[in-house]
Amino acid sequence: MELTTKAYKQTAKKAIADPILQSALAGLQSRLGPATASLYENLPEGPDLRAKAHAYRRKAVDNLDIMLVTLAGKIRENGGEVHFAATAKDAVDICLDIAEKNNVKHVVKGKSMVTEEIGLNRALMDKGIEVNETDLGEYIIQLAGEKPSHIVAPAVHKTRKEVGELFTEKLGTPYTDDPPTLTRDARQALRKKFMAADMGISGCNLACAETGHITTVSNEGNIRMATTLPRVHVAFMGMERIAANLEEHQAILRLMSMGAAAQQIGGYVSYIGGPAAVDHADGPQAFHLVIVDNGRSRILADEEFREMLCCIRCGACLNVCPVYGKIGGHSYGSAYTGPVGAVVTPLLGGINEASHLCQGESLCGACRVACPLNLNLPRMLLALRAKLSEGDPRWNVKPKSRPEKMLFQVWSRINQNRKVYDILLKLGRLIQKIMPSSNHMIRRLPWPFSGWTQSRDMKPLAGKTFMELWKEHQGGRS
């Protein structure tokens, strides 16, 4: 997985200072967050559906071996081919091999986070194969040479003026910032790519073991065209994206649509289980499903993080997260952004390498409330922080900061001794009197606490603690 998480702080500062991005993120969260919550409140089945869906996903994850074998068997019965890829390189090599055997020169893609994770586009282009993203948001950022900034709204950071200028430069269309006209321009450009494509590549929102099909969801119809017009269709799925049967599949798919775009169900839902039959009017001649592990088996083997494999990548947590709402998606430096990215990226790409992500989240719990499956992301964020503090040879984690750990150990000891705590509190009240302050706020703290006041003031210690006030209120009675 390509990571640029080392630049988390610098990219976040830049994002916070960008008024256009701040406006776009505020607009996104004000629309989708409340709308999704309203749908949850009005579920015909009641709130129990979310708990049931969580149980469905957990059952699938706990029985992945059986489910995947069942899925693969049914797809092969229908004439499709199934490939299991242990690593990102294996997955890419499988696709390159399919492309070479079928003399593929032009590829159209539907939005797929797994292919972003494994770096498929670059590998195809390095082989001289033209790749065109067909989701409108993905198409815009591909033209701009950028990365997605949101799981389901990859170009949310772009204004329509910027898109208009981009289309004029890259497509040669007359400048406009009118969204319907821009959409028409993109459609006309992409239609030629669809007709010329030899291979269509898609992701998989959710597979069904019982029926042996994968499901893709979109609101533009682009994935349906990418999977039916080219003569070869290659679908990529993370190995955990599966449900046992249609009843469980449809419940999860509905909740996914609510979490992703505040819809009862996505505009285009396609069920694909193999190549076109001889009596079908359209569809590919060959269908390949690439089931990608790339670190997921390691997560599966760790009970502390296994719940993360239940995630359906709807992006609902991004739409309520106060951190994502300020720093945007590019700060996360990986294909997965927001709270879900802060957990899954370290697990897939390295906990030390992506340490900023779990440490940057607020632990407010909004992500858990917004998640259609109530996944406990805050618990897993804390578990990652614990590994960074203590180290963990199973995950090849080295303690990040021994001085910080020692500091917190000292703080813990102080909190366990009331007399010492009170003495230090009184000392702090004295010291704060000589610190720069204004309007009853401390403007600057000394090192090593100076980071707290680099961009904000700090409220001084109160003259009396709650316990002291309580004793006074009770007239000295404890």
Sheet with 206-208, strands from edge to edge, namely 242-243, 206-208, 213-218, 268-272
State the burial class of residue 105 (Cβ atoms within 10 Å of its Cβ: 0-12, 13-18, 19+): middle
For 224, phi and psi rounded to 5 degrees? Answer: -60, -40
CA 454/CA 459 separation, integer angstroms: 14
Q: What is the pLDDT of residue 478?
A: 52
| pLDDT tens-digit readout, 14-46 | 999 999 999 999 999 999 999 999 999 999 999
> Which structure tokens are listed for 99?
């492309």
The secondary element (H helix, E strand) that includes residue 6 is none
Of the candidates 151, 147, 138, the one whose C-alpha atom is nearest the C-alpha of residue 315 is 151
What pLDDT digit, counting tens, does each position of 302-338 carry? 999 999 999 999 999 999 999 999 999 999 999 999 9
How far is it, in rounded angstroms, from Cα 21 to Cα 409? 39
Is residue 189 within a helix (H) or strand (E), and if so which, with residue range?
helix 179-196
Instruction: Return d(Cα 118, Cα 153) in angstroms, integer.
Output: 20
Q: CA 380 to CA 376: how far, in whole Å?
A: 7
CA distance between the termini of the chain: 58
Class of 43-294 per CATH?
alpha beta
Q: State the Cα–Cα distance between residues 24 and 325, nearest whole angstrom.
A: 9
CA–CA separation, 397 and 384 (whole Å): 10
Q: Rounded distance, CA 173 to CA 179, Å?
A: 14
d(C-alpha 201, C-alpha 110), whole Å: 6
Distance CA 176, CA 168 (A): 8
476 has pLDDT over 60: no
Please calculate the CA angle 413-417-421 and round it to the nearest 5 degrees: 90
Is 83:287 a contact under the CB 8 Å cutoff?
A: no
Tell me the C-alpha distance between 147 and 158, whole Å. 12
Query: Per-residue pLDDT tens for 197-252?
Result: 999 999 999 999 999 999 999 988 899 999 999 999 999 999 999 999 999 999 99
Question: Is the sign of the CA dihedral 179, 180, 183, 188 positive or negative?
Answer: negative
3-class secondary structure, 288: strand
**Domains of the chain: which residue ranges?**
43-294, 405-475
Q: Alpha carbon 162 to chain centroid distance? A: 25
**What was the pLDDT predicted at 405?**
81
**Residues 345/357, Cβ–Cβ less than 8 Å:** yes
pTM above 0.85, yes or no: yes
Q: Is the pLDDT of residue 286 over 80?
A: yes
How far is it, in rounded angstroms, from Cα 231 to Cα 200? Answer: 8
Alpha-carbon span 395 to 359, nearest angstrom: 17
The predicted pLDDT at position 88 comes to 97
Whether the link from the prior residue into 378 is cis, omega within 30° of 0, is no
Stated as kind and residue range, the H or E segment containing 65 is: helix 64-77
Q: How confident is the model at residue 404 (pLDDT cuts 50, 70, 90)?
A: confident
| Amino acid identity at 158 | K
CA distances from 273 to 75, 112, 231, 247 (A): 6, 18, 15, 17
Average pLDDT over residues 398-404: 84
Give the alpha-carbon dihedral of 59, 340, 219, 206, to 10 degrees. Answer: -20
